[in-house]
Structure 1
Amino acid sequence: MCRRLCWCRRNLSSSIHSSRSSSNRFLHTSLINSNSTSSTTSSQSLLGSAHEDRDSIGSSIGTSCNDVPSFFLPFRSEWSSRNVAIFDVREERLVALLDRCASPLHLKLVHAHLLRHGLDQSNYVITKLLRTFTKLCTDMAYPRLLFRQVRWPNAFLWTALIRGYALNGPIAEALHLYGSMRRNGASPTSFTFSALLKACSAIGSVYAARGVQAHTMMLAFDSDLFVQNTLIDGYVRFGCLSDARKVFDEMPERDVISWTALIVAYARCSDMEAAQRLFNDSPHKDMVAWTAMICSYAQNAKPKEALQLFDRMCAAGVPTDEVTLVGVISACAQLGAASYAKWVHNVAEERGLDGNLVVGSALIDMYAKCGNIQEAYRVFEKMSERNVYSYSAMIVGLAMHGQSKSALEVFSCMKETDVKPNSVTFIGVLTACSHTGMVDEGRHCFTSMQDEYGILPSADHYACMVDLLGRAGRLEEAYEMIKSMPVEPHAGVWGALLGACRIHSNVDLAEIAARQLFKLEPDGIGNHILLSNIYAAVGRWEDVSSVRKMIREKGLKKSAGYSWFEAKDGRIHEFFAGDSSHPLSREIYVLLDELYEKLKILGHVPVLNSVVYDVSDDEKESILRRHSERLALAFGLLSTNPGTTIRIVKNLRICEDCHSFMRKASLVANRIIVETWRWIPTSPGFQ
């Protein structure tokens, strides 16, 4: 025993000699003290030679605490001399002390006293020491030394070392150690298999994971709940949902972790039907499962389902966190539902999460997309702390609402703080410049992005610049910028040029942009329709027919345009072009006819080239009258009180004629009208 203890002290000493910190001087003295109680004088001589001034160091321990970590200070009263025990060395106190260690040096200090008091063979203490070491340090040499000094390591000590290699590498060593463990007759525990599966995930070997599963079955762990949950988690990490589902189906017992792991896995893979079935069947639904379903519905463009599920979650009394709320806020933003937006905001306030930076930034984005930019700005103003995401959300929201001056003012305020703009911030700034035709200001911002902030312009930023130049009529300049781009232009860049060609009827550049878009997005029907519209605007009907023939040959289908309006009771009413299925259809069309007559008096002239069909002007006007956003507007006027803001959301961009119609309708009806994400300029109160 003395010889083995001596060997451990020598190894520990050699690792300490390499450091020059003051904490090590205390550790050296502790080791010298431990050797003074031993008959082995050679070790004492070896440790003593490390410092010629060891007597002065030893004497300083009794009078100063400067060389000792602060969490050892409660034991100072026990110090009297080098030869008096410093710690109460009961295992429980040593283990508690390990939880407070903040560095490998602190752990070595504890190890020194552990050696001194003969606890170097305690599996319990050494396991805790080894696990703590692997958390604080990635070097596995010392933990391996700790393991080797134990004559009869138990399963927990083996597992601790396997886990260390699984976390810090080399990963293969974790699997090799398991083989050694079995050859040495140690029986694995459920935690052993957890560590092994971590190693399998780290090396990306599903075959190794299946081998681990075979061992769990061979050793009768196939009914162990913890092991089976670990297997499900492991297979999910590999993307092997069929294996995970098989483990789940064969489990004799399942808990909330079992159900939640698989629900989350299906939701992340966008298999919402399978996720919903599991969710409905689950007897255990925790916050994680609810949140996964809500966020996945929002991410898969199913905002209604997300909001309905959140309503059920609140009714069930399940607590929510910021992740849940961000998912719900995203759903509200997609739906453009103002009452839902206010409800979610109230929930955030009730939960005390409205001051959360992530939630606050999401609320700004939500209100902006719901058409309530004033409320978005109120949330922004109330935030006690702002980061780049809250500033960016506010700038982008103002820009999309055409309030470019306000967006640039917020950007100026941001530059006066310590918050540095990111790439999204500059997309908002460039969009603001584009909507107001501020070409010079946009150029300056584009240049300063790299020169002042070190942000390399991406294809998205170039798309903003092309849009800025294109809207200003500088189409050739925009095209030259595309040709000189240091990055490959994506569909957004060419789409911005094509859109500008639509505004200025530049057929030649439109054909160049369209050819590129047909290569990048061969199935994108919108690009084909936009080129067809450009041909129609200049009366090139043969080319219109050619493009439409191309659409038919490719089998492309246009997404149906529809608009929706949120009623006072929170119900969403959807309308398609020419829709007559609504219970109030007769009243809707009567009201629209009345509006048309009043608008004619104000001088409204239909923008007939908004219709791309080769039909008579009367037929074109008839088609425009039945657009879905006009039906939604009429229903909004019928179903709300005078003075109420009308907010209409559409899945496609509003046509030029409808935009003109909405602008004049807001004057006639004396209402504020918000269409999709843009303010419709109107009477007092509008900019």
Structure 2
Amino acid sequence: MASPLTVASGSRYNDINTFQQLSLLHQSPRLESSKSVGQLKQFHAFIIKTGSPQHQTQILYDKIISLSRGNEIENLSLQNPQVYLYNFIIQCLSNANPLEAIALYREMLIKGLLPNTYTLPYVLKACWQSQSLRVGQQVHAYSMKTALLSNVYVFNTLMRLYAVCGLIKAVHKLFHFRQHPQAQRDLVSWTTLIQAYVKMDYPTEAILSFFDMCQANLRPDGMILVIVLSACSKLGDLSLGIKIHRYITDNHFNLSPDVFIHNALIDMYLKCGNIPSARKVFDEMPVKNVVSWNSMIAGLTHRGQFKEALDIFRRMQGLGLKPDDFTLVCVLNSCANIGWLELGKWVHTYLDKNHINTDGFIGNALVDMYAKCGRIDQAFGVFRSMKCRDVYSYTAMIVGLAIHGKAWKALDIFSEMSQVGIEPDEVTFVGVLSACSHAGLVEEGCKHFLDMSRVYNLQPQTEHYGCMVDLFGRAGLIREALDLIKSMPLVPDAFVWGALLGACKIHAKVELAEIVMENLVRFEPEGDGAYILMTNIYSSKNRWKEALKLRKKMKERKVKKTPGCSLVEVYGEFYEFRKGDKSHPKTLEIYKLLDEIMHQSKNHGYIL
């Protein structure tokens, strides 16, 4: 019977005849003179695929036996050279060509050869590499029938197969309800279980398993600690993360050379909202890699600490460290949020000089940065230069155009999406509806709102309803806005009521504004926005008594108005100013210059 490999579809050796085989072997370095296992691997793969003469196979067997190191391997190969060589080639193919490794395993069974504890781990590895779950389950059954499952290496590899295939219940059952209790669960077993829980979004079970492992008197290694810390990050449980950190410290783990645990600690503290602890770990790290810097920059960006994130990036630059794609995306996001155009342009220049592709996430971040920094033409230029655009690229461009009041151009870009076969998502429609709202395109906005569910099978969320309320409100269609709110299948939130209150201010609907105000305060009892807006509505109608009463209510409820804030960039440094701020060391000089500017302006006829 022919080997499955010799009849495999697409094999370049299928039509090679015996004469060609001998010729190829003759042209290669002589088999008898091979002095490395690497050369023998090449010869053996060739022999299996071509069905070379028996004497060539026997020479190969003898050479592998002679090159084998260690009495145990030598004895094994002498006892059953065919099983040994099948194992040898299955190991070689398990990564590079897993399907052929599985075919060789089947061939072993057909020939009556018995796989052993060395065979099965590599066959199972080939199964997870090729996602051949059914074959893996057959191997599982065979290992139970032959008692090979009691081998810890077979057991661990089988767990890994089920974990890779996403079968968390199978992993749990295999770990806890084995029929071979004599096989001890080692550190790899626990690592596989905990990692599977985290990967499949069961962080609580991962933490509990970690504590069970500690109670079993097994000392975790760095890999398990990193996985457990990532579980704490997913849970956002700071107290649990601190407990794990204390465990690491109390058990005297040597963290000096382990950058991975430090990085995991930084990530955990940032995702749990403890920025000072994250910075302390970061600053005390004896060695940092680019992931360490990225963790700090990304974490601070995610927490809205954009200026601090860019400060870390500049420290990174000062040390001469080369940023990667992830670094640059985070930097561009921070630049977009605080309007630091010059640094954003520097990143763009850096990308061009280093021939870094601006498709994908980097291109999308560039579009977003230029749009939010007021350079919509540059944003559009980057968008058009991208060879591969996705839904995020189109969404960033549409939202940017909407912000700049270019509604029709935003709608043209949206129409282009369907032409190129890209489906919009919920965020895309927020941009589309915002564009319609700012341009007063009521009919187009209603059409796109209805198309969400009718055409794209997307259910409108509160953000979309808020955009529609804003659209109706700006156009003076207050009754339609109210009817839409009443028909909402969702509970109207602060975004929806805030949009209606804004419409009441535009059209001086004081009585309705008072009703809206009550609903808005229920959602944001400590927010100052509703109070300030309602006070302005009263003032615009000369109802000073009601305005004063509302301000007193703010004081009683200890609601403080958030002071206005301005950022000024001078020679690459950002300076933050708030209303009445006197914290700057040069406050006196600043106010003196401001008074002089106001005086000069009045002298030139400007009314301030």
TM-score (norm 2): 0.79
Instruction: Say which one has the larger Rg.
Output: 1
Of 345-354 and 295-304, the range deviating more from structure 2? 345-354
Q: Which residue identity is paired with 2:560?
A: K
| Cross-structure match for 2:90 | 94
| 1:253 correspondence with 2:254 | yes
Q: How big is the shift at 1:212?
A: 0.8
Partner of residue 575 from structure 2, selected from 565, 568, 573? 573
| Cross-structure match for 1:126 | 120
| 1:306 correspondence with 2:302 | no
- 1:429/1:292 Cα in 2 relative to 1: closer, same or farther (>3 Å)? same
Please report the RMSD computed on the Cα atoms of aligned residues, expressed in angstroms.
3.2
| Cross-structure match for 2:66 | none
Q: Deviations over 1:111-138 (max 9, x none)?
A: 2233467763532221111233345244
Q: How big is the shift at 1:225?
A: 4.4
- 1:391/1:234 Cα in 2 relative to 1: closer, same or farther (>3 Å)? closer
Q: Deviations over 1:634-658 (max 9, x none)?
A: xxxxxxxxxxxxxxxxxxxxxxxxx
- 1:466/1:225 Cα in 2 relative to 1: closer, same or farther (>3 Å)? closer
| Cross-structure match for 2:363 | 360
Distance, in Å, in 1 between the alignment partners of 2:266 and 2:176 is 34
Partner of residue 445 from structure 1, selected from 428, 445, 448? 448
Q: Which residue identity is paired with 1:453?
A: Y
Count of residue pairs brought into register by the alignment: 531
Q: How big is the shift at 1:589?
A: 2.9
Q: How big is the shift at 1:77?
A: 1.9
Of 94-103 and 307-316, the range deviating more from structure 2? 94-103
Q: Is the 8 A contact 2:398 2:432 kept in 1?
A: yes
Q: How big is the shift at 1:424?
A: 2.1
Name the SS of the counterpart of 1:99 in structure 2. Answer: helix
Distance, in Å, in 1 between the alignment partners of 2:143 and 2:13 is 25
- Pairing of 1:103-182 with structure 2 (within 5 A): 108-115=102-109, 120-134=114-128, 136-139=131-134, 141-148=137-144, 150=146, 153-166=150-163, 168=167, 169-176=169-176
Q: Is the 8 A contact 2:494 2:524 kept in 1?
A: yes
| Cross-structure match for 1:501 | 504
- 1:474/1:131 Cα in 2 relative to 1: closer, same or farther (>3 Å)? same
| 1:197 correspondence with 2:203 | no
Q: Is the 8 A contact 1:391 1:410 kept in 2?
A: yes
Name the SS of the counterpart of 2:253 in structure 1. Answer: coil
- Pairing of 1:253-652 with structure 2 (within 5 A): 253-254=254-255, 255-567=258-570, 569-578=571-580, 581=587, 583-596=589-602, 598=604, 600=606, 625=608
Q: Deviations over 1:464-509 (max 9, x none)?
A: 1211121122222222222222332221111111011111211022
- Pairing of 1:23-62 with structure 2 (within 5 A): none
Q: Is the 8 A contact 1:287 1:320 kept in 2?
A: yes
- 1:411/1:134 Cα in 2 relative to 1: closer, same or farther (>3 Å)? closer
Q: How big is the shift at 1:326?
A: 1.8
Unaligned runs of 5+ residues in structure 2 are 15-45, 59-81
Q: Is the 8 A contact 1:175 1:199 kept in 2?
A: no
Q: Deviations over 1:511-556 (max 9, x none)?
A: 1211110112122111111111111111112211221122122111
Distance, in Å, in 1 between the alignment partners of 2:209 and 2:456 is 47
Q: How big is the shift at 1:164?
A: 3.9
Distance, in Å, in 1 between the alignment partners of 2:603 and 2:448 is 46
Identity of aligned residues (%): 31
Distance, in Å, in 2 between the alignment partners of 1:323 and 1:314 is 15
| 1:78 correspondence with 2:78 | no
Name the SS of the counterpart of 2:393 in structure 1. Answer: helix
- 1:582/1:193 Cα in 2 relative to 1: closer, same or farther (>3 Å)? farther
| Cross-structure match for 1:208 | 209
Distance, in Å, in 1 between the alignment partners of 2:595 and 2:357 is 43
- 1:349/1:599 Cα in 2 relative to 1: closer, same or farther (>3 Å)? farther
Name the SS of the counterpart of 1:123 in structure 2. Answer: coil
Which structure has more relative contact order (CA 8 Å, sep 6+)? It is 1
Q: Is the 8 A contact 2:307 2:334 kept in 1?
A: yes
- 1:578/1:391 Cα in 2 relative to 1: closer, same or farther (>3 Å)? same
Distance, in Å, in 1 between the alignment partners of 2:231 and 2:577 is 47
Q: Which residue identity is paired with 1:163?
A: R
Distance, in Å, in 2 between the alignment partners of 1:146 and 1:350 is 58
Name the SS of the counterpart of 1:544 in structure 2. Answer: helix
Q: Which residue identity is paired with 2:506?
A: I
